[in-house]
């Protein structure tokens, strides 16, 4: 019989949003105004950083690099944009999903990594985005569970 690997996930929930991320990553919940989020989860081993934030106004900070794709996406029934940049000079890859408006707030999700870690970063990116949920009020928590 083959061995089944399980991977632990942790849940970040605050304000009106929740998402799952790899449980062995570090989490930095940055203080923000009530109902807002500013969180950073990172894999220090592979130098991959995921950032989730919210604001009352939509912002689209400039990114250095070549835009590889720009598409409309829906996360948990909320519409926004997803983009990917690659910067050969700095060897960086930047994923961004933003413009998601829920309860008078705009949400942005970003992931930063080295081009050499792009495949791993993209796999984690897809998993985190697929887990995003918006709701009237998320109970603030961080919880872990085994996942197959």
The pLDDT tens digits for 106-139 are: 999 999 999 999 999 999 999 999 999 998 765 5
- Position 138 scores a pLDDT of 54
In a domain, residue 59? The reply is yes
Q: Is residue 25 part of a domain?
A: yes
Which long-range contacts does 20-28 make (Cβ < 8 Å, 24+ apart)? 20/127, 20/128, 20/131, 21/50, 21/124, 21/128, 22/124, 23/144, 25/50, 27/142
- 2 has pLDDT over 70: no
Closest of 72, 76, 122, 124 to residue 97, by C-alpha: 72
Q: Are 117 and 48 in contact (CB under 8 A)?
A: yes
pLDDT in tens, 40-95: 999 999 999 999 999 999 999 999 999 999 999 999 999 999 999 999 999 999 99
Return the pLDDT at 33: 87
- Domain range enclosing 95: 9-134
Q: What is the mean pLDDT of residues 1-13?
A: 68
What confidence score (pLDDT) does residue 110 get?
98
| Residue 3 pLDDT exceeds 60 | no
Does any domain span residue 38? yes
- Number of domains forming the structure of the chain: 1
- Going 57 to 140 to 103 to 25, the CA torsion angle's sign is positive
Query: What is the average pLDDT across 26-49?
Result: 92
Q: Is residue 23 part of a domain?
A: yes
- CATH number of 42's domain: 3.40.1000.10
Answer yes or no: is 140 within a domain.
no
Residue 129 lies inside a defined structural domain of this protein: yes
Residue 3 lies in a domain: no
In this prediction, residue 34 has a pLDDT band, given cuts at 50, 70 and 90, of: confident
């Amino acid at each position: 019989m083959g061995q089944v690997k399980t991977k632990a996930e942790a849940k970040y929930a605050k304000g009106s949003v929740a998402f799952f991320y790899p449980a062995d990553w570090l989490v930095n919940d940055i203080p923000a105004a009530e109902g807002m989020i500013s969180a950073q989860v990172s894999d220090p081993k592979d130098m991959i950083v995921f950032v989730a934030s919210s604001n009352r106004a939509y912002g689209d900070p400039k990114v250095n690099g070549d835009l590889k794709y720009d598409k409309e996406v829906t996360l948990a029934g909320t519409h926004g944009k997803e983009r990917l940049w690659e910067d050969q000079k700095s060897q960086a890859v930047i994923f961004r999903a933003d413009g998601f408006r829920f309860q008078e707030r705009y949400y942005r999700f970003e992931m930063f990594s080295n081009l050499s870690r792009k495949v791993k970063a993209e796999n984690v990116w897809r998993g985190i985005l697929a887990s995003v949920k918006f709701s009237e009020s998320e109970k603030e928590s961080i919880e872990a569970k085994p996942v197959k």
